[in-house]
Amino acid sequence: MIGVLIADDQELVRLGLRALIAEEDGLTCVGEAADGLATVATAVRTRPDIVLMDIRMPGIDGLEATRRIVADPRLSATRVIVLTTFEHDRYVFDALRNGASGFLLKDTAPAELLRAIRTVADGGALMSPSVTRTLLREFVTLRPRTRLPHPQLHTLTDREREAVVLAAEGLANDEIGRRLRISTATARTHVSRAMVKLGARDRAQLVVFAYRSGLVD
C-alpha cells in the first residue's frame, strides 16, 4: 500500500485529491496539511511514501518544506512530488534542487497523477519530456548559473555521461536507448550507475546535477 500525504492550503484541492486516492487500489491517504510546517510535522508522524506538495502555502512554503523532509533521516524513504501552476510558479528548479522527485501541473489528468504517484513510489522520477525540457531550460535561461561540477563527475564513463545528458533533456530510458543505439535495459543500467556514482537520490536529482555541472547548456 502506497501512503500519500496531501499538502495544499486549499481545502477543495485537498478534498479532490483525497477522494481520487481513496478510489484507487493500492493507494491510501495517510494525512493532509494546509501549511508547510504542518506538512513536515505530519510527514514525520505518518512516514508517507509520497508527499503531494503545493508550493505556495503559509508558514513555510513548499520549497522549504521539501528541503526539510528530504534532509530528515527519518524520512529517507519519503519522496516529494511538487504540484505547480506553470504560468505562475517559477520555483520548479529550486524544488528539484531541494530534493523533490518531480513535479506535476495542477491541471494534470487524474490518471496521469495516479501513474506519477506509482512511478515515484517505485523509485523513478517524474520527468515528463513534454514539461521537463521547457521548465528546466526556462529556469536555466531566467537565472544566471555558476557551474558547480559534481566532484564525482570524472568517474562517469563516456556512455554514462551521454546517458545523463539525455536524461537531463527529458528523455526516458527507451528514448535514450534509441538515441544511443543501445537497448532500453542497457540505457537504464547506464543511468542507474551514474546515479550511484554521483550519489543522486533519484533521477530528478541526477538531472539537477547535470545542469549544475554544465553537462547541459
Q: Which residue in 98, 35, 42 sits closest to 75, CA to CA?
A: 42
Q: What is the pLDDT of residue 108?
A: 83
The arithmetic mean of pLDDT across residues 90-113, rounded, is 81
For residue range 35-47, list pLDDT tens digits in order. 999 999 999 999 9
Kindly tell me if the per-residue pLDDT of 23 is higher than 70: yes
User: Quick one: pLDDT band at residue 88, thresholds 50, 70, 90?
Assistant: low
The arithmetic mean of pLDDT across residues 180-204, rounded, is 90
Q: Give the mean pLDDT of the chain.
A: 86
Q: Which residue in 1, 38, 33, 36 sits closest to 17, CA to CA?
A: 33
Q: pTM of the full predicted structure?
A: 0.74
Kindly tell me if the per-residue pLDDT of 81 is higher than 80: yes
Kindly tell me if the per-residue pLDDT of 128 is higher than 70: no
Q: What is the pLDDT of residue 152?
A: 92
User: Quick one: pLDDT band at residue 66, thresholds 50, 70, 90?
Assistant: very high
The arithmetic mean of pLDDT across residues 196-210, rounded, is 84
Top pLDDT among 201 and 63 is at: 63
Lowest mean pLDDT among 55-59, 87-91, 157-161: 87-91
Give CA–CA dist 98/95, Å, rounded.
5
Q: What is the pLDDT of residue 69?
A: 97
Q: What is the pLDDT of residue 189?
A: 94
User: Quick one: pLDDT band at residue 212, thresholds 50, 70, 90?
Assistant: confident
